[in-house]
Structure 1
Amino acid sequence: LEAAGNLVKTEDYSHNVGTCYRCHNDVEPLISAQWFVKMQPLTAEAIRTVRDGEVKFVPERFTKIYMNWMENCHDWCISRQLWWGHQIPAWYCDDCGHMTVSRTDATECEHCHSKNIHREEDVLDTWFSSGLWPFSTMGWPEETEELNYWYPTSVMVTGYDIIFFWVARMIFSGMEHRKQHPFDTVFIHGLVRDSQGRKMSKSLGNGIDPLEMVEQYGADALRFNLITGNSPGNDMRFYTEKCEAMRNFCNKIWNASRFVMMNLTIEDNALPAHLELEDRWILSKLNDTVKEVCENMDKFELGVASAKIYDFIWDSFCDWYIELTKPRLQGADAAAKEGAQRVLLYVLTEILKLLHPFMPFITEEIWQAIPHEGDALIVAEYPRYRPELCFAADEADFEMVMAAIRAVRARRAEMNVPPSRRSHLIIVTDHAVAFESGAAYIRKLAYAEEVRVAAAAPENTDGMVQVVTDQARMFMPMADLVDFEAERKRIEKELANAEKLLAGQEAKLANENFVSRAPEAVVNAEREKKAKLEALIENLHQSLAALG
């Protein structure tokens, strides 16, 4: 224009320029011939199958995202200008210009029969190929045995970022080519982000090589890190420190298993006819865990399920039950020793089964080293709830004993009293049977010289330290070991905190909106918290009064 003298003027113009997300160079749109799929005939069935509940999304909120895409779907450009990918089955005649589309490689123009033809250079979009995956991998379009058995599948697991790119295309492709939805449930997981919450990418240089994590911490630790605390559909941050914690958990399982194996003289894990109180407690606790984990798994709450398994193994089995069995394992009573071995082996076996989907490698390794039925753990039946192993009353009684042991040990630790310095313990409670049954455990684990259960507090509490739980008040004669003025201040501080919590509970329950709108179970739970705080405060007042 300028050379011809037709340029009127040149001026700057500000506008948005598209950039490539990979190399960040400017992108110039060009009009070009492409291949398209007309979507309107395909979306109707894809919408219906989800709307009618034939395909369900977990979490359910992703159904709305899927429906929004499908109800506002444009025709789909399926051709790409790349050197790799599935070739488009179209050939062009260089003589007459006719296009031949063929299921097999064309050798001539179907119109003029000229051999002078060339194939379409564009390739199919990768998502077009991926959309055929549920059936194309099993011999389709032939009606193979594998295809008829495995299609449709039960669960499809994927990320929320490719619901439209992959899930939707598998659904409408399956409905078009197989006249049946490809899967019953779509389980949506979130993205694994870095410790700052950023999406991992090459440009940011914040990607984490999983093979390096496996080399440093082990595959099981990495798997458990990604599962524990994760919730369906939500992103999670990746911390290498958590991998280290999960490696420590693996070590805990390994060491507990070694302890069990070192003390075994039996060849099967059949439970003994007679069960001690701690046996009934751990079996009932295991039974509860199995029931809850199975329920969580059925609802795809893998993070919740794995956390419950973790808590049971670390706290109930390793920290408590193994310690409780040591006197029997080291004692002279052969029947008691065998009973402890049988329960230990049974619980360990069920733990390995529970944990195997989450930590397959260490569990299989341990499984092969202990007496077991069958060849491999991976094909063993998953644990199921057994009503005959529900000992709810014994479990509740033992939990009271455990709470007392924890409280006494915590108090002794606060006062820096070493385990070697034992004291007498007087327990005042309305649950005398439970505490009398648990007296031996209290003596061993709470470092008590003697345990006496009483209906009323001793008349003279001078020189005694009091420990309070929801179910009991415990008096320890420790005049030579404790600073009573410091103890008074500690109780007053605990009392102030309990009264503050009680005020909050009372305010919540006084709120008519909360009481009327919250589920009944939630309201009852809050009332139970209030009752426990009131009992604790009463016991703390009595403890203060006893100090004089």
Structure 2
Amino acid sequence: VQGSFWHFRYPLADGVTLDDGRDHIVVATTRPETMLADMAVAVNGEDPRYASVIGKFVELPITGRRVPIVADDHADPELGSGAVKITPGHDFNDFEVGRRAGISAADMLNMFDAEAKVVQTADGLIPAEFVGVDRFDARKLVVEQMKALGRLVPHTVTAKDGEVTEHDAEPRTIQTPYGDRGGVVIEPWLTDQWYVDAKTLAQPAIEAVKTGVIEIVPKSWEKTFFHWMDNIQPWCVSRQLWWGHRIPAWYGSDGKCYVAETEEEARALAGEGVTLDRDSDVLDTWFSSALWPFATLGWPEQTGLLAKHYPNDLLISGFDILFFWDARMAMMGTHFMGAAPWKQLYLHGLVRAADGAKMSKSKGNTVDPLGLIDQYGADALRFFMAAMESQGRDIKMDERRVEGYRNFATKLWNAARFCQSNGIGASASVAAPQATLAVNRWIIGEVVDTVAALDKALADLRFDAAANAIYHFVWDQFCDWYLELIKPVLSAEGDTGEATETRRVAGWVLDQILVMLHPFMPFITEELWHALGERAGDLIVAEWPQPEASVDVEAKAETEWRIALVREIRSAKNELGISPGARLNAFVQGANDQTKGWINGFWTGAQRLARIDFAPLDDAAPEGATIQIVVNEATFVLPLDGIIDIAAEKTRLTKALEAVSKEAKSLDGRLSNPAFVEKAKPEAVEKARADHAEKSAEAERLAAALARLG
């Protein structure tokens, strides 16, 4: 803020003078009122101007107090006069200088009350006219008296025309701390407080991390942990608040202080005839919070809950409270319980605005989670948070991703409705059912793989990997492919054994999905769990999947071949602008015996999903334009005569490829230019990269489409 700098002459005592003959030292201050509690003047020990007076005294104007001149590196020879007034009771830096000078905290002078009004100091040297005066009024009075005493050094200003004017103070922009609640200037104020010997408490917690008793994940945070703990200062645990655990200390009428767990114990310590008054301060919030792992379980009583839950396995915490809370829990736990409160400490990132900036009310970039829940659902927001959490890195808020996970929930809901409408319901078995069809054996194996991926990801605390595993299994394998691949079986006439098997397998798989997805999307999964049939209990207490089955390699190969064939044919049609519903013939070249067997078993499925009719396996493809698709060792040739104008399509694709390649090359040139990457706005660089990736992918797609045209 815009403030002032006053310069005062402090007279040297005992007839001492500086080497240049001056009988005073000039000091500067932004808070003149604090000179009423000055206890020293500091100069730099390397400053030759003051070498002869170090250890001598000045006699303060107004109070007449004799204070020493001390050598301390806090005084900067290049700043102002090189001499600074020291008020240990009302300035953090001065407090440390005073301690280094041998002034004990008990002897430091205090000149303010709780309302920042002047009180008499312990030595009684403050003139009566200052006592009871507000700090800012006292400031004006000090300046007036120093000016009257001839001890104020005026600030001179020379105008352009040469005119010189004098002012009481030099205008300066100064750092000033304001309280965020009261909006007033914070006044450093020396008071008696209760402290904990944090350095001693910290040692067992440090050792626990060093020896691996506590594992910090990600490990990169260990360096920060050790830096804080190795440099820890005494911990001030008393607070002047209305609520909290009161300090267990009582002050007796005999002038002594009694610390005890209860007032009865304090009275016993004080003895007969001593009246007690309990300290009105309460413990620091972090002190009380540090007791959480065991105080919530009945401690200091040795309860069953305490025996069962202490120590715990894992603490999940934001990295921003590693020192404030997590380290203090470790300190308290090892001290009071003799064991660390948990085996692992996982530190996750913070949610930031979409552009990566920290959310701030003043910036107006905060996001109300309740608004997102109203719009997209709690499940979608919860899944977003898990999917974005990657080992402590901050999360950029992306509403489009939340919307995408809302669509994922809708996809699951529609899949469950499809199952219900086809006679698929709750599974009667926890174990994987027996299956003969390749597609059913394949999906059981996919469940096995997904459970294994989830177990590993959760054990490694990779919540993003866990969310990614269940997401792709549900959306890709189950919804997009398995349900499509079993439609011909379910729609076949009559109650075939294959249909019965498929319903049993599909019901079991859907149950496993609900259990695996429940930690990420608890509401929709619990709803579907009960909607699919009668249950013995709620999903939240259901057993975690243990399929006790293996991956069927043959079924996996065959089913993935079917998926690849359908995907490639659909992609080729899309690239060439052919309607998805257009029915094409497919001639097979170079297929081995295994592929021929798969083709014979996929005749109906290929007609339904890829809209192709297989020609007899020994027939050669006719002459003319074709699409050629390679899957494994076999080439599938699809004649295009009468379907599209080949020449026109080649011309269209060539022009489109040239245009998009030109755009990609231009963007590549911009991104290769250091001047653009370093000087452009980050969002502009990010957009250029995204556009380049999009154009490059489009060029690859068009080139592949041209290559397909035989």
TM range (shorter): 0.7 to 0.9
Native 8 Å contact 1:217 1:247 kept in 2: yes
Mean alpha-carbon deviation: is it higher for 322-331 or for 193-202? Answer: 193-202
Conservation of the 8 A alpha-carbon contact between 1:90 and 1:120: yes
Pairing 1:337–2:499 present: yes
Task: State the Cα distance separating 1:115 from its structure 2 match.
Answer: 5.8
* Matched-pair contact (CA < 8 Å) for 1:38–1:75: yes
- In the other structure, the counterpart of 1:206 is 365
The answer for the alignment partner of 1:161 in structure 2 is 320
Q: Which residue of 1 aligns with 2:608?
A: 444
Q: Give per-residue Cα distances to partners, 1:361-398, cap 9 Å, x unaligned.
A: 11111111224663121222211353x33112321232
Contact 1:92 1:100 in 2 (8 A): yes
How big is the shift at 1:294? 1.0
| Change over 3 Å in CA distance of 1:443–1:193 after alignment to 2 | same
**Superposition pairs of residues 106-505 of structure 1, within 5 angstroms:** 110-111=269-270, 113-114=272-273, 116-264=275-423, 268-269=427-428, 273-334=434-495, 335-371=497-533, 374-384=536-546, 386=548, 388-434=549-595, 435-436=598-599, 437-453=601-617, 458=620, 460-469=622-631, 471-488=633-650, 490=653
The alpha-carbon deviation at position 116 of structure 1 amounts to: 4.3
Return the letter of the residue paired with 2:256. H
Letter in 2 for 1:218: G
Matched residue, 1:79: 238
> Is the alpha carbon distance of 1:461 and 1:391 closer, same or farther for their aligned partners in structure 2, counting shifts above 3 Å?
farther
Residue 474 of structure 1: SS of its match in structure 2? strand
1:283-315 CA-to-partner distances (Å, cap 9, x unmatched) read: 222221111111111101111111111111111
Amino acid at match of 2:575: E
Is the alpha carbon distance of 1:265 and 1:68 closer, same or farther for their aligned partners in structure 2, counting shifts above 3 Å? closer
Instruction: Kindly report which structure 2 residues correspond to 1:531-542, keeping only aligned pairs within 5 A, or say none.
Output: none
Letter paired with 1:147: L
Q: Please list every run of 5 or more consecutive structure 1 residues that lacks an aligned counterpart in the other structure.
A: 501-535
Query: SS at 1:211's partner residue?
Result: helix
Structure 2 Cα separation of the partners of residues 204 and 324 of structure 1 = 51
- In 2: Cα distance, 1:540 partner to 1:263 partner: 39
TM-score by length of 2: 0.66
CA contact (8 A) 2:254 2:274 kept: no
Give the conservation status (yes or no) of the 8 Å contact 2:205–2:331: yes
Give deviations 1:178-210, integer Å, cap 9, x for gaps: 111110011111111222323334433433332
- Measure how far apart 1:414 and its partner are: 2.7
Q: In 2, are the aligned partners of 1:96 and 1:112 still within 8 Å (CA)? A: no
Verify the 8 A CA contact 2:425 2:532 in the aligned structure 1: no
Shift of residue 330, structure 1, vs aligned partner:
1.5
Distance 1:70 1:305 in 2: 33
Q: Is the 8 A contact 2:286 2:325 kept in 1?
A: yes
Matches of 1:400 and 1:491 in 2, distance apart? Answer: 31
Distance 1:374 1:255 in 2: 24
Summarize the Cα distance change of 1:77–1:274 in structure 2 as closer, same or farther, 3 Å threshold. Answer: closer
Q: Distance in 1 between matches of 2:357 and 2:181?
A: 17
Paired position in structure 2 for 1:103: 261
Q: 1:58 to 1:406 in 2, by over 3 A?
A: same
TM-score between both structures, scaled by the size of structure 1: 0.84
Q: Tell me the SS of whatever aligns to 1:228.
A: helix
1:28 aligned partner, one-letter code = E
SS in structure 2 of the partner of residue 140 of structure 1 = coil
Q: Is the 8 A contact 1:465 1:476 kept in 2?
A: yes
Indicate how the Cα distance of structure 1 residues 328 and 81 shifts in structure 2: closer, same or farther if over 3 A, else same. same
Over 3 Å counting, the alpha-carbon distance change for 1:224 and 1:542 in structure 2 is closer
Match of 2:195 among 25, 32, 36: 36
Q: Which amino acid aligns with 1:450?
A: F
Cα shift readout 1:240-292 (whole Å, capped 9, x = no counterpart): 33222222111111111111122227774456644212112222222211111
Cα distance in 2 for residues equivalent to 1:23 and 1:311: 52
Could you list the runs of 5+ residues in structure 2 that have no partner in the other structure?
A: 1-141, 154-167, 665-699
**How far apart in 2 are the matches of 1:385 and 1:38?**
53
| Cα distance per residue 1:390-436 (max 9 Å; x no partner) | 11232123222212211111221233323443111123344552342
Moved more, 103-112 or 123-132: 103-112
Which is higher, the Rg of structure 1 or of structure 2?
2
Alpha-carbon distance between aligned partners in 2 of 1:262 and 1:34, rounded to the nearest angstrom: 71
Compared CA separation, residues 158 and 224, structure 1 to 2 (3 A): same
* Contact 1:269/1:371 (8 A) holds in 2: no
3-state SS in 1 of match to 2:588 = strand
CA contact (8 A) 1:268 1:372 kept: no
Matched residue SS, 2:300: coil
Contact 1:439 1:451 in 2 (8 A): no
Q: Percent identity?
A: 35
Tell me, what secondary structure is at the counterpart of 1:389? coil
Paired letter, 1:42: L
Mapped to 2, the partners of 1:245 and 1:543 lie a distance apart of 34
Secondary structure at the aligned position of 1:138 is classed as coil
Deviation (angstroms), 1:492: 11
Deviations 1:95-132 (A, max 9, x none): 33221222113585944645643221221110000111
SS in 2 for 1:482: coil
2:114 matched to 1:5?
no
Moved more, 248-257 or 393-402: 393-402
- Deviation digits for residues 303-346 of structure 1 (CA, Å, limit 9, x no counterpart): 11111111111111111111111111111241122122111101
Which residue is 2:108 aligned to?
A: none
Partner deviation per Cα, 1:126-146 (whole Å, 9 max, x = no partner) = 000011100001111111111
Tell me the distance in 2 between the aligned counterparts of 1:399 and 1:22: 63
Instruction: Give the Cα–Cα distance (whole angstroms) in 1 for the partners of residues 543 and 566 of structure 2.
Output: 36
Structure 2 counterpart SS, 1:82: coil
Q: Tell me, in whole angstroms, the C-alpha distance in 2 between the residues paired with 1:377 and 1:541.
A: 48
* Paired residues of 1:85 and 1:124 also in contact (CA < 8 A): yes
Counterpart position of 1:510:
none
Alpha-carbon distance in structure 1 between the residues aligned to 2:586 and 2:378: 47
SS in 2 for 1:362: helix
Q: Distance in 2 between matches of 1:440 and 1:42?
A: 73
User: Structure 2: how far apart are the matches of 1:6 and 1:100?
Assistant: 51
- Alignment CA distance shift 1:192-1:433 (3 Å): same
Superposition CA RMSD, Å: 3.1
Which protein has greater RCO, CA pairs closer than 8 Å, 6+ apart? 1
SS in 1 for 2:263: coil
Give the conservation status (yes or no) of the 8 Å contact 1:190–1:236: yes
What count of residue pairs does the alignment treat as equivalent? 504
Cα distance in 2, alignment partners of residues 473 and 488 from structure 1? 21
Counterpart Cα distance in 2 of 1:89 and 1:541: 80
Q: CA deviation at 1:45?
A: 0.9
Distance 1:263 1:228 in 2: 32
Per the TM alignment, residue 232 of structure 1 is displaced from its structure 2 partner at its CA by 1.8
2:446 & 2:308 partners in 1: Cα distance? 39
Paired residues of 1:229 and 1:304 also in contact (CA < 8 A): no
Distance 1:278 1:298, change over 3 A: same
Residues 427-469 of structure 1 deviation map (CA, whole Å, 9 limit, x = unaligned): 3344552342434322221101335546xx9464313222345
- 8 Å CA contact 1:404, 1:472 repeated in 2: no
